[in-house]
Amino acid sequence: MGAKLRVLIVDDSAFFRNRISAALSQADDIEIVGIAADGSEAIERTRQLKPDVITMDVEMPIVDGISAVRKIMNEMPTRILMFSALTKEGARETLDALDAGAMDFLPKDMNNLGSGVEEANRQLLERVRAVGHSRVSSVRSMPGGYRPQVSRPSPSSQAWNGKGRRPELLAIGASTGGPVALRQVLSTLPRHYPLPVVVAVHMPGSFTGAYAERLNTVCSIRVKEAADRDRLTAGLCLVAPGGKQMQVERGPSSYQVRITDPLPGQIYHPSVDMMLSSVAESFKDKALGVIMTGMGADGLQGAKRLKQAGSGLWSQDQQSCVVYGMPQAVEKAGLSDRVLALDEIGPLLARIAQ
């Protein structure tokens, strides 16, 4: 076995520090190297201990979690997993922390992660490992918020799929690392973008509305959390609501989305597989799917159906992913028409408007 993942636990609640410690102590590949009770202590312990992963609470005295993340990411970039309340305000604070450079988040009430302590512990361990083995983010907090680094696409980048046909719908799926990566891509698209956009990213139901609102303030295109029977419109991005399933279908006069409750046994809601499968059925060979950073393989089955229908598929490359799970699954299956760095995806998609 290789070196253990060295974890610093940061929380002002002794109960929650003990709760995380008990879960992480079960793993042979994880070592708890320190504990901090506020953001100021977290910054100092990070300087001293140089942990591989920090679990960070948002609301703390002296220095809050968001300020601590900014300081740590500016001085000594470290992989940070946030814990936040499942409220709208908690969602906004978590999005601020992700903008500042945190990699991922979990709900503060870990009972929401699954049925029982064992499932909650399993998901916590899985998430700490995923963050711990990922590339350290180079995102820095800036006055006025996050600004993407845009590279100029090569002139040979006109092929949207194997047939070279321009798509009529853009469908994007992501998970771990997705909120920040999606923001970079969508903020590159021009105001009068000629395609409708649908997005499925693994987030709780209390987060997706705040996330869509945040995107709408920083993007030129319009962004909203999808509601049942919303019409697909050029220049509008519909974000699948957390805890629900979003599918695309042909409506009475145009294409629309259907929002439904998840069925028993469905792991992901929203599911990238379900969204892409419905796109394949509705749009046939007239869509472009993009699979971005994320843990697991959600999107693989939907990508297969999309390619069988004749549509195109792009995936994010390993070097620019926080977690190279979902893109790796489609690339290994030979489904990717193009494998692109994060800072290439947005500019190439923007060329559709030219």
What pLDDT shows up at residue 49? 96
What is the domain class of 5-132 according to CATH? alpha beta
Give CATH 3.40.50.180 domain extents, the chain.
169-353
Strand order in the sheet with 30-36: 30-36, 5-10, 53-57, 79-84, 104-107
Cite the active site residues. Answer: 175, 202, 298
Residues of the chain with CATH 3.40.50.2300: 5-132
Q: How many CB atoms lie within 10 A of CB 173?
A: 31
* 3-state helix/strand/coil string of the chain: CCCCEEEEEECCCHHHHHHHHHHHCCCCCEEEEEEECCHHHHHHHHHHHCCCEEEEECCCCCCCHHHHHHHHHHHCCCEEEEEECCCHHHHHHHHHHHHHCCCEEEECCHHHHCCCHHHHHHHHHHHHHHHHCCCCCCCCCCCCCCCCCCCCCCCCCCCCCCCCCCCCEEEEEECCCHHHHHHHHHCCCCCCCCCCEEEEECCCHHHHHHHHHHHHHHCCCEEEECCCCCECCCCEEEECCCCCEEEEEECCCCEEEEEECCCCCCCCCCCHHHHHHHHHHHHCCCEEEEECCECCCCCHHHHHHHHHCCCEEEEECHHHCCCECHHHHHHHCCCCCEEECHHHHHHHHHHHHC
pLDDT at position 166: 86
Backbone angles phi, psi at 54, to 5 degrees: -120, 130
Q: What is the pTM of this model?
A: 0.88
pLDDT of residue 157: 44
Averaged over successive runs of 10 residues, the pLDDT of the chain (354 residues) comes to 89 93 94 96 97 93 92 95 84 90 83 64 89 67 38 45 77 94 95 96 93 96 98 97 96 92 93 98 96 95 97 95 94 96 95 80
Closest CA to 103 of 39, 147, 54, 58: 54
Query: Strand 338-340 vs strand 312-316: parallel, antiparallel, or unpaired?
Result: parallel
Fold of 169-353: Rossmann fold (3.40.50)
pLDDT given for residue 1 in this prediction: 57
